[in-house]
């Protein structure tokens, strides 16, 4: 089994250096693919010089001729990679030195897996620890059969997480069609996990193996609530259509899922206190407020967050 670490970067040379050093420090050999989305801050010279100073490492550098965005950069990187498994890494995030080794051991226990996720430490711009994502199931490593994944994602009981948490099988990614630029920076990763999950089981490692930087005023927080709601509904529609037949009589009607999303995003807008979204948030709140099922789903999500543990009967322990 061969791993490729795929690093996407754009005009953040200092952060890129931190991410790259953690890729170079992995305890097992790996390929490193860096996709530069047409940076103009010296990234090109830095990476070209690096290739000369680190000949012992397998580093592939590609610079987009124009700025193509995150999704297309991911697609280009996977196309250039030669690993069986791809570990994604944005330039402002970084990895534990044992990340790949532990993932490799877990995947060996469930070779039919197509996607693997771990816990992540969330840090601020100064590198200070803020929080750690929830554990999944029981034990150190657990898996979820393919037929159970989409039901779990629909009901938000299966948290794959952000790119820094996830590794995926390259052939499953290619069969899935890659990342969709329509969702760029707004559910593009989740859309990909939904599609990759059609091609194998899922593995969850209950150990923090990655670090994700949370920024004040980040780009995704500037996306209007109305757009985030619309996109989230599209993603849920896609998941809904993929739920295994054995669960289809047990899941809520999609109108109830849509009402839940309206409650979720209206409350998020009220919490943010953004006047631009207040009128729209008030309207969508009342559109969802009369659905008992929507409130039950919202309560269920808050309860999971309070419990800090996603532990459901269909997670199966590997070790």
Q: What is the pLDDT of residue 303?
A: 67
Domain ranges (residues) in the chain: 3-213, 220-317
Q: What is the pLDDT of residue 137?
A: 79
List Cα–Cα distances, 243 to 149, 154, 172, 248, 265, in angstroms.
8, 8, 18, 7, 23
State which CATH number among 3.90.1150.10, 3.40.50.720, 2.60.40.3140, 3.90.550.10 fits the domain covering 3-213: 3.90.550.10
Residue 110 CA to residue 124 CA, distance in Å, equals 34
Q: What is the pLDDT of residue 240?
A: 97
Of 209, 261, 241, which is closest to residue 95 (Cα–Cα)? 209
Chunked mean pLDDT (size 10), the chain, 319 residues? 96 94 95 96 88 72 94 97 97 96 96 96 87 86 94 91 96 97 88 97 96 76 81 96 93 94 88 71 86 87 59 60
What is the reported pTM?
0.91
Of 90, 244, 84, which is closest to residue 155 (Cα–Cα)? 244
Residue 167 CA to residue 189 CA, distance in Å, equals 12
Q: What is the pLDDT of residue 197?
A: 97
Residue 153 C-alpha from the chain's centroid: 13
| CB neighbours of residue 227 within 10 Å | 10
CA angle 125, 187, 150 (to 5 degrees): 125
């Amino acid at each position: 089994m061969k791993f490729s670490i795929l690093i996407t970067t754009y005009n953040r040379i200092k952060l890129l250096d931190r991410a790259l050093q953690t890729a170079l420090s992995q305890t097992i050999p790996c390929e490193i693919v860096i996709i530069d989305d047409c940076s103009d801050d010296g990234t090109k010279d830095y990476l070209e010089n690096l290739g000369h100073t680190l000949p012992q490492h397998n580093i592939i550098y590609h610079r987009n001729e124009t700025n193509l965005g995150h999704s297309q950069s991911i697609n280009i990187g996977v196309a250039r990679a030669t690993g069986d498994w791809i570990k994604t890494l944005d330039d402002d995030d970084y990895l534990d030195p044992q990340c790949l080794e532990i993932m490799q051991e877990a995947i060996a226990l469930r070779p039919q897996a197509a996607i693997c996720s771990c816990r992540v430490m969330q840090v601020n711009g100064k590198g200070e620890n803020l929080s750690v994502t929830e554990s999944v199931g029981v034990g150190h490593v657990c898996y979820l059969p393919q037929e159970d994944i989409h039901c779990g994602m629909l009901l938000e009981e299966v948290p794959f997480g952000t790119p820094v948490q996830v590794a995926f099988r390259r052939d499953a990614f290619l069969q899935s069609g890659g990342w969709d630029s329509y969702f760029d920076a707004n559910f593009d990763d989740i859309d990909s996990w939904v599609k990759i999950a059609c091609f194998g089981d899922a593995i969850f490692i209950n150990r923090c193996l990655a670090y994700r930087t949370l920024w004040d005023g980040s780009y995704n927080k500037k996306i209007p609530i109305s757009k985030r709601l619309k996109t989230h509904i599209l993603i849920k529609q896609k998941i809904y259509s993929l739920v295994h037949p054995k669960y289809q009589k047990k899941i809520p009607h999609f109108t109830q899922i849509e009402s839940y999303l309206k409650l979720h995003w209206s409350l998020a807008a009220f919490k943010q206190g953004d006047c631009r979204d207040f009128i729209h948030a008030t309207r969508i709140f009342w559109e969802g407020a009369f659905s008992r099922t929507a409130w039950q789903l919202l309560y269920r999500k808050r309860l999971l967050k309070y419990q800090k543990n996603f532990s459901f009967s269909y997670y199966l322990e590997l070790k």
